[in-house]
Amino acid sequence: MSRAWIGLGANLGRPKNTLEMALSALEALPATRLLAASPAYWTAPWGLTDQPEFLNAVVCVQTDQGPIELLRDLLALESGLGRARTGPRWGPREIDLDLLLFDDRVLDSAELTLPHPRMHQRAFVLVPLADLAPDLHVPDRGKVSELLASLPDEELDGVRPAGVLRSAPRP
């Protein structure tokens, strides 16, 4: 079984409800078990800043699927939760499910890049990930806690606790 880390984000509709539905959908994936869910955080939008704040969290799953299979399931879940892949890059969305890490694999294909290529620059990923696994090593980047400590203050300023979505055991 492999361990995968998935970033969740939403800023349209009712983001907390959407993230809760995403957690339930992740629990229902075949050959996959939800191990842990971080607290949620309100975060300033990244890239395209003229939009509502995002609600972000990170989950850890254990899966018998490969990374491409899991990615395809995540894309299907996004679609089922109302995500339409239209509009500008980094724009508002009903749900975003990003495969951040899959064990310690490094992959660069047309369909998937692992680790997620910008996760080491984004507080909205590193803050909730550090809640679950501060000592986790991101291949070719370093430990999550060190990556978080290296972020500029202005990146961290846009992150506010939003509370627990729902409890799951720690990985």
Enzyme catalytic residues:
83, 93, 96, 98
For tokens 């499910």, what's the residue? 97
Alpha-helical segments (H) within the chain? 15-27, 67-80, 123-132, 144-149, 153-157
Tokens of 52: 């509502």
Question: Looking at the DSSP assignment, which residues form a beta bridge with residue 159?
Answer: 43
Question: Looking at the DSSP assignment, which residues form a beta bridge with residue 70?
Answer: none
Question: Looking at the DSSP assignment, which residues form a beta bridge with residue 98?
Answer: 7
